[in-house]
Structure 1
Amino acid sequence: MILRFTKFIFISLILIFIFGMFAGRIWDPDFWWHLKTGEYIYTNGSLPETDPFAYTTLPKDPLNPESKRIKFILTSYWLSQIIFFLIYKLAGLQGIIFFRATILTVLIYFVYRAIRREGADFYSSIILIIPSVIILSNFTGERPQLFSFLFVFLLVYLFEGFRMAEMNISRSSCKEINSGHRNSNLLYLLPIPFIMLLWANMHGGVFIGVIILSIYIICESIKFFKCKTGNSLPSKQLRILIVVCFLSILITILNPNKWDVFSVLIEFQKSKYMESIVESRSPFIFLSAGFYNQEIITYIFLIIFCMFFVIINFKSIDITDLVILLFFLYMSVTSARTIPFFATIYAPFTVRYAIKTMRALNNKLHYIERLRSFSEKFKLGSLQPLLITLLSIVMFIVLANTRIINKGIVWERYPKGSAEFLKNNRIHGNMLNPYVWGGYLIWALYPDYKVFVDGRGLIEEVFFQNSKIFSANLQQFGDIPEWQAFMKVYNINFIITYSVNDFTGNLIPIIPFIMNDPEWLLVYMDNNSLIFVRESPENSEIIRKYEMPKKWVWNEIITEAAYKVKNVPQKTNFYITMGDAFFAKQDFQDARTMYLKAREINPSNSIVIQRLNSLNSIR
């Protein structure tokens, strides 16, 4: 009794600590347009039929009028978005942080329960949830995918609970008890249709749920007719599982887009737009680019750990287990955004085959029996309450000195100052903004302003046009560069932008062109954003009040690059960018310092060598 109580206290403290890890500041750029859409739906009492937030969005994609993507993005998250907005309305941004941390902590608790259900002991279960926590702590974005993380694991948890319960009954000999247990086992399947209905109105990840259901239908049917592929369900239980799965798939049609999620997904997979989304790329691309963060390293470890036990048990592995694991492994290898699914799903299946491997070793080597007799001889089991009590005290002290819920927003990621400037100084005409800031600007400035583009990427061609403008594409369009042609077509009157690319560390290519173009004037600058306006009569008052020398932009570039390089200190380009900015200011000593720092990281970098040679020629 004492041992159970101390374990309960300890796991509770662990979960509180994990909750604190997931309760970081708000950072996800897509959160803002989800929140604003929730407000729009709540205020208007209906789903948006056309895009209210971007002036570049037409009712249909002009290059692909049959596309269902625009309507899907506008309406497929509606329930999640309303939930986000209602939480914000009741509890502010701290409520959003609390909600996000709660969902992820509940998910980890279910992972823990699944590991325990497979037969792992208390201590091993605590250790085995650590990789899941590490990876999920890097996926704390406040967006509807949180529900998909939870629902995917819940589906597998419920199906595996049903399968394991049926296998235990099959081993039992008491028919009366078996009959009663079989009826209670159906409780595992009852929540599944409800989960799928909710999911279909919260996030497009419901297609993963449909695939999971299909895997269980197909694999369990194969096992029934070919017993060598794993433990099969009894005929009646298999029929019930199939009926529940088909019902759950059919019920997903009850959403504003019916089953368009599949056609939209296929369209998205074929699009060039998907290739441009960083999180849709393989995690191994990040490794090759030098991003060795804890999430990627932990993920690689999980693959090795999981596949080790799969390969050892390959001849006897259950086909359902194998297909589920390989499906989520394939997803995570091809797209970094799906790593959290594998990071949770791996746990119960890996434990299942790890225990099977240990039992096989025990039968041959008798190591486990020796350890057990050693434990009994020295009465190590009696020390467990004391050990857990001591660990609980340590955990309590750590928690007492730790802020469990962080407050506010990672403002360094957003143009808060620029948004305030635009609110206080109404600039008429069309805005040009970076893709990644569109969501925040929608939240901060609508309905006074509409954005050029945002994280929804409703029209693929607009996204690429935005990229061509900011990359200063020099391909000729008539007698002017293409990027300038797009600026004229959209009648851009002001530009809000950052100066340094977070991922590459390079200076945004449009910045030097704007700085050297007398038509564009600098009216606002802070540590992470710039605002330029076109020189015109309608902007004369803003220019008169706020114009500043464009050479000051070099200071902003240095400040921004110095902040961003902290996240990737081995990225050479940030130091080159700072060196170039110091060089432009004719601060040659600091320029040399930055170039030398870049050379330390990459001695063979040709750009660094060229820059240092240029400095030497000045001397």
Structure 2
Amino acid sequence: MRSPNQTWWLLAFLAGAAFLSRLVAIQDPDIPWHLLHARFVLEQRSTTYADFVSFTVPGRIYHNQPWLGELILLGFYQLSGSAGLVLYTSLAAVGGVLATHRLASLTSHRAPWLTLLVTALVAGATNWRLEPRPMALFPILLAVAMYIAARFADPWGSASGTLIPNHPAGTRPNDRRTATRWAAAAILLFIAWAQIHGSYVLFPAILGIAVVGKAPSLGTQRTAWRLLLPALFGVYCLFQSEHVALVSRVALGDATNHIAEMRPLQLSQLIPTYLNSVLCLDALLIVAVVRSIRARRVRASDLAYAVLGFALALTAHRFRAAWAVLLVPWASRAYASELFAARHALPEPAWLRRLAATLAIATIPVIVVGMIDRNPERTFSVDFNRDIYPADTTDLLKAHRVEGNLFNVYDDGGYLSFSLYPKVRIAIDGRTPTVFDDELYFLIRSTPNSEAAFDGFAETYKPDMALIPSSAPMCARLAKRPDWRPVYFDHLRTLFFRTPFRADLHTISTINACDPLTSIEDTCRSPAQESVLRLGAELNRLLQLAPDAPAIHIARARFERMCAHDAQRARAFADAALDSGTRRASAYFEAALARAAAQDLEAALEAADLAVYLGGGPHAAHLHALLLKDTGDLFRARDELLALEKSAKDDMPTSARVDLAEILLKTGDPTLARLQAQRAYWISRDTRAKMLLTELGVAPSTPSQPL
């Protein structure tokens, strides 16, 4: 006999995995400005107010469409800070799993294993997208919307098994009263959804699909009456003011025409190369198609939902999650054979039970590990990711009571305004195009890469400060100009002040503020002792300016290791950087070097291992292999360098290739050692490679003299 309870333990595991998957450090750029504007709504007692957060569009009227979602978000933040935001997202993930399970259960008509299978695949496809933003509730709202739409279209269910209520035979609720209740529920959900950063158009589309796809005849009075509500919704959307129409286009559920939001999903991306959310989405599509082919039936509404989700996903890749939820009715639809089995209490096929259990269990690591594998720096945490946000810069500006107008790139604006308003006003945040139009967006986007664009922006808006990505061409150019001066740097950005703004804060002159670690190395290799002394003095001033900043501690660790040759002090500074909570690969790389210099190879190997895991690249992998060699594990060192050579190919550092040749020689493979040494000599005429070739009795050759 069928027993829905037998899948509960797997459903509980899925919900638990969804909860755990969201216990990650917060790094979405839009979260801070959502919190800030929730406070504005409370202060102004209105959702429409003049916005003075930026200096580029001061006083522009902002119509805060997602105010309800922002207030919910602020409530969780007030509850427990960043941990409250993480809790909000985790609960949203659990709610999405349970809402999807309920929708699939009603559509499949008490087929627990099929319901579990569909729920697991949807959970795997949606959880990667959830962030502590108002739209984190979309899996719940979307599932509820589809349920309400189905009940509104047919309040009593049908012989096809879709959402059949448990009414005794021969009894039905009152026609008009039941339809009115579901119409009221639809209107209430529409209003709430629109104010939680949802769509003004997606829910009416779902409602229309349910009515048209369900109606046996469009000419009946009952069907015509039910078509009236989605038609009214559509008219309402057509006559919205411009700001609401634009909000609906960039909110979840609509094909966006805003260029800044266009990140389309390519068809090739639907072919997964590893376990990720796309694999779950593909599996969900396969389940839906195979079940329809076997039953030789497909409902028009199910196909319409699938086409709607496909169109959304092709418009912007983040809508893949919405597509997964929209596929639930098609994937879990109860066809004639399933309805017969349900009426006669027949068990589901054994192969389906095994497949559902296997995929549900397999989805759990996809949900939990998938987010971390996408970004190892993020890790499990309930804090803001200080490595992503400009947290150290905001701490510096607050500590020294800096006030003025700050140029910033798009992703930094939310955190800067949340942390520094009203003392510091920003150039832009994530509210495009509702506040910042495309013209301003593209001007700011091009500014870090174009001196002409930067000068044009500076002439028009006259910022006092500029926070520029360190890798951007404009950073190096500003560092050489007399009208701007660098005063601070972190792992990703450099802070400039316009001359003579806040002249009391020291100008960085000895260190290249756009590439500090390389400039420290170059100075330490210089024979000029005076430059080394100036470098040390400047680092001391930066430590006094920002005593807790990990980037400054890392810079000082490199100075102590390479200039002062004090391994213990270098290790102390590197460990202080790690104690700040940073997850930057460069920090662990420097810590590994400092610990190795202090002769603590075990601790150095641990730091190097984390540097590799966090994406430190070939140099981190090379260091890890060298530390393995120093601990006597030549064969592991050889295997790691061979793996590096296979992945990096010609981009492998020459020193790593020579080290590989030396290790190959020591492990008894002189032929391969000769080949690697020859390649190193070809690429850079490396002296060590030449000496090794001479030791092997081979005259160093050139590419025109093949081996």
Q: Secondary structure at the match of 2:387?
A: helix
Q: 1:13 to 1:359 in 2, by over 3 A?
A: closer
| Separation (CA, whole Å) in 1 of partners of 2:411 and 2:466 | 14
Amino acid at match of 1:52: F
Match of 1:541 among 504, 523, 547: 504
Match of 2:315 among 328, 331, 334: 334
The structural deviation recorded for 1:35 is: 0.6
| Separation (CA, whole Å) in 1 of partners of 2:614 and 2:86 | 31
Q: 1:243 to 1:525 in 2, by over 3 A?
A: same
Matching residue of 1:195: 189
| Separation (CA, whole Å) in 1 of partners of 2:338 and 2:255 | 45
Please list the CA deviations of residues 112-138 of structure 1 after superposition, one character each: whole Å capped at 9, or x if unmatched: 122222146333433332222222221
| Separation (CA, whole Å) in 2 of partners of 1:490 and 1:21 | 43
Checking the alignment, whether the CA contact within 8 Å between 2:4 and 2:111 is kept in structure 1 is no
Match of 1:151 among 129, 138, 141: 141
Q: 1:460 to 1:561 in 2, by over 3 A?
A: farther
| Separation (CA, whole Å) in 2 of partners of 1:249 and 1:264 | 16
Please list the CA deviations of residues 286-333 of structure 1 after superposition, one character each: whole Å capped at 9, or x if unmatched: 679x996712333334344434445666x7422222112211122113
The structural deviation recorded for 1:265 is: 5.2
Match of 2:490 among 520, 526, 550: 526
Checking the alignment, whether the CA contact within 8 Å between 1:521 and 1:532 is kept in structure 2 is yes
Checking the alignment, whether the CA contact within 8 Å between 1:132 and 1:343 is kept in structure 2 is yes
Q: 1:406 to 1:42 in 2, by over 3 A?
A: same
The structural deviation recorded for 1:420 is: 0.3
Matching residue of 2:150: 160
Matching residue of 1:553: 515
| Separation (CA, whole Å) in 1 of partners of 2:458 and 2:139 | 40
Matching residue of 2:604: none
Checking the alignment, whether the CA contact within 8 Å between 2:52 and 2:58 is kept in structure 1 is no
Amino acid at match of 1:483: F
Which has the greater radius of gyration? 2
Q: Secondary structure at the match of 2:28?
A: coil
The structural deviation recorded for 1:464 is: 0.9
Please list the CA deviations of residues 509-552 of structure 1 after superposition, one character each: whole Å capped at 9, or x if unmatched: 32332344454433222334332223x233320126x7662267
1:357-506 superposed matches below 5 A: 406-457=381-432, 458-471=436-449, 473=450, 481-499=452-470
Checking the alignment, whether the CA contact within 8 Å between 1:576 and 1:598 is kept in structure 2 is no
Matching residue of 2:26: 26
Matching residue of 1:102: 91
Please list the CA deviations of residues 38-72 of structure 1 after superposition, one character each: whole Å capped at 9, or x if unmatched: 01111222234332211112567xxxxxxxxx74x
| Separation (CA, whole Å) in 2 of partners of 1:116 and 1:447 | 51
| Separation (CA, whole Å) in 2 of partners of 1:564 and 1:285 | 36
Match of 2:264 among 264, 268, 281: 281
Match of 1:318 among 289, 294, 299: 299
| Separation (CA, whole Å) in 1 of partners of 2:420 and 2:174 | 58
Q: Which deviates the most, 599-608 or 303-312?
A: 599-608
User: Normalized against structure 1, the TM-score is what?
Assistant: 0.70
1:572-591 superposed matches below 5 A: none
| Separation (CA, whole Å) in 1 of partners of 2:441 and 2:320 | 26
The structural deviation recorded for 1:285 is: 7.4
Matching residue of 1:511: 475
1:298-313 superposed matches below 5 A: 298-310=280-292
Matching residue of 2:531: none
Q: 1:121 to 1:82 in 2, by over 3 A?
A: same
User: Normalized against structure 2, the TM-score is what?
Assistant: 0.62
| Separation (CA, whole Å) in 1 of partners of 2:427 and 2:389 | 16
| Separation (CA, whole Å) in 2 of partners of 1:568 and 1:125 | 42
Matching residue of 1:343: 324
Unpaired stretches in structure 2, ≥5 consecutive residues = 369-379, 518-550, 556-582, 590-608, 623-640, 655-679, 688-707
| Separation (CA, whole Å) in 2 of partners of 1:464 and 1:567 | 37
Match of 1:179 among 172, 183, 187: 172
Amino acid at match of 1:121: A
Amino acid at match of 1:29: P
Count of residue pairs brought into register by the alignment: 530
Please list the CA deviations of residues 418-463 of structure 1 after superposition, one character each: whole Å capped at 9, or x if unmatched: 1100111233443121111111111111111111111112221111
Identity of aligned residues (%): 16
Q: Secondary structure at the match of 1:492?
A: coil
